[in-house]
Chain A
Amino acid sequence: MPTYEDILAIVTELIKPLAAAGRSIREDTDLVSDLEFDSLKVMNLIEQVEDRFDVSVPLNILPDIRTVRDFTVQLQAILGDN
């Protein structure tokens, strides 16, 4: 089971190429208001995370995700359930 830090590192690495150049990505970075992600980018990120961890991320968690931290926490819970 990967730790919170492991997951955070991978999520950050996957977000970077999707964000505008030079944006800093921290745990409290908001995907929509700071990085201006639209729904296509969010779905693209989710697909990459799914492949990387061999897991399916249900759409139902989307309303609970605003920041990089929220996403990491949710992923950790999904990975823990498997």
Chain B
Amino acid sequence: MAIFDKFQQLAATRRAMAESGIQSINVVMDRVVSATEAVVNGRSLILAGTNNYLGLTFHPECIEAACDATRTLGTGTTGSRVANGSYSTHVQLETELADYFRRRSVIVFSTGYVANLGMLSTLAGAGDVFVIDADCHASIYDGCRLSGAEIIRFRHNDPGDLEKRLRRLGARIENTLIVVEGIYSMLGDRAPLGDIVAVKRRYPGAFLVVDEAHSLGVLGSHGRGMAEEAGVEADVDFIIGTFSKSLGAIGGYCASDHPDLDLIRYANRPYVFTASSSPAIIASTRRALGILSAHPELRQRLWDNARRLYARLQELGYRLGPEPSPIIAVRFAQREQAYALWTALIERGVYVNLVVPPATPDGSSLLRCSASAGHTPDQIATIGNAFADLKRLFGAASA
């Protein structure tokens, strides 16, 4: 097989999408007006698929902090922290995150993807075992693969199946890492973390890693995520997350009480061999973390919007993810239905994420909406009205 032959299936999918007029992977935003609005091809769109949960991307204090840091520290670090040294602001952000999570230490990475790649590939190696939820994000799969450890999946959100797999490991349990997410990125469902922790406690020696990418700032009375919400933070050995969602920037982190977390930094190739985050990113993230902690009402507004949109779409008869969540996935058996509705939503001024297999958990296609604290009640109503309009137009075909 020639090098490029393996991409032929991808080419066929893209052709089929192009024939349906779908440009979802090529959408170019001419202008971004606010956390919830952009202009595409001259048309103003409500952004309803962004992961911008707290709507902080245009917060004046975050923008000011980023501009100020650029003026005083420059546009980039031009290298890895191990080679070029850390800026004091990198270290301050790590300290602030550690305080926020009430953990001994934190490592900051260039993205959330890199955080998973770096932590998972470094924590485990040949002879170790990952037991991961089947619906985990690609960055978790890739990190596990890069580690050289054995990778075992358990059925999504099924603590009983997890337990079976831990039991089968016998004495290898001491070399085992369990990996789950707080809120799953495609269907918006939460991990039953209390039950997962109960299983973990029956198998002493196993470590638990929770990716809180979609739950930071979203769950827990301080916004620390699913572990806080479930009251099990002490049982989570490593928290991994991203700055690219509720914090409105780009970057990733791992927080832990493990005394050797700092050692891992130096063995961590995706940390050592890539440039560190620019001063602007670090500055806006620090400000956003401060805002996230000081303003729980943002979380309240996010959930009000999420619940309202979920209820509206449910009332309209759409097939949704299993529970109300800031990620609201509208599910379709046929990808052509999702293509048609995605295009029709754009025509009605609403932008959502189009997700097709194999990126979806069960082979269905999704129009993945995400609510934001930045959405106004009017915007939430407009998104709901657009879906209502399509229900009338497409009828049964939209289920």
Contact surface of A with B, Cβ cutoff 8 Å: 38-40, 43, 47, 54-60, 82
* CB atoms of B168 and A40 under 8 A apart: no
Contact surface of B with A, Cβ cutoff 8 Å: 134, 150-153, 155, 164-165, 168-169, 357-358, 362-363
Known: A43-B134, A47-B155, A55-B168. Is A38-B358 also a contact (CB below 8 A)? yes
* CB atoms of A59 and B151 under 8 A apart: yes
A47 to B154 CA separation, bound complex (whole angstroms): 9
- Residues of B close to A47: CB separation below 8 A: 155
Cross-chain contact of B168 among A39, A54, A59 (Cβ < 8 A): A54
Cross-chain contact of B152 among A38, A54, A58 (Cβ < 8 A): A58
Whose C-beta in chain B lies nearest to the C-beta of A58?
Answer: B150
* CB atoms of B151 and A43 under 8 A apart: no
Pull 10 A–B residue pairs with CB atoms less than 8 Å apart, ordered by A: A38-B358, A39-B358, A40-B358, A40-B362, A43-B153, A47-B155, A54-B168, A56-B168, A59-B151, A60-B150
Whose C-beta in chain A lies nearest to the C-beta of B149?
Answer: A60
- Residues of A close to B169: CB separation below 8 A: 56
- Residues of B close to A54: CB separation below 8 A: 164, 168
Whose C-beta in chain B lies nearest to the C-beta of A57?
Answer: B152
* CB atoms of B357 and A59 under 8 A apart: no
Ranked 3 nearest A-B pairs via Cβ: A59-B151, A58-B150, A56-B152
Q: How far is the CB of A36 from chain B (nearest CB, A)?
A: 12
* CB atoms of A60 and B151 under 8 A apart: yes
- Residues of B close to A43: CB separation below 8 A: 134, 153
Cross-chain contact of A40 among B150, B151, B155, B357 (Cβ < 8 A): B357
- Residues of B close to A60: CB separation below 8 A: 150-151
- Residues of A close to B164: CB separation below 8 A: 54
- Residues of B close to A56: CB separation below 8 A: 152, 165, 168-169
Q: How far is the CB of B111 from chain A (nearest CB, A)?
A: 24
* CB atoms of B363 and A40 under 8 A apart: yes
Whose C-beta in chain A lies nearest to the C-beta of B131?
Answer: A56
- Residues of A close to B153: CB separation below 8 A: 43, 59
- Contacts A60-B150, A82-B168 supplied; 15 other A-B pairs, CB < 8 Å: A38-B357, A38-B358, A39-B358, A40-B362, A43-B153, A54-B168, A55-B168, A56-B152, A56-B168, A56-B169, A58-B150, A58-B151, A58-B152, A59-B153, A60-B151
Residue of A39, A47, A59, A82 ringed by the most chain B CB atoms within 10 A:
A59
A40 to B134 CA separation, bound complex (whole angstroms): 11
Whose C-beta in chain B lies nearest to the C-beta of A40?
Answer: B363
A56 to B357 CA separation, bound complex (whole angstroms): 25
Q: How far is the CB of B155 from chain A (nearest CB, A)?
A: 7
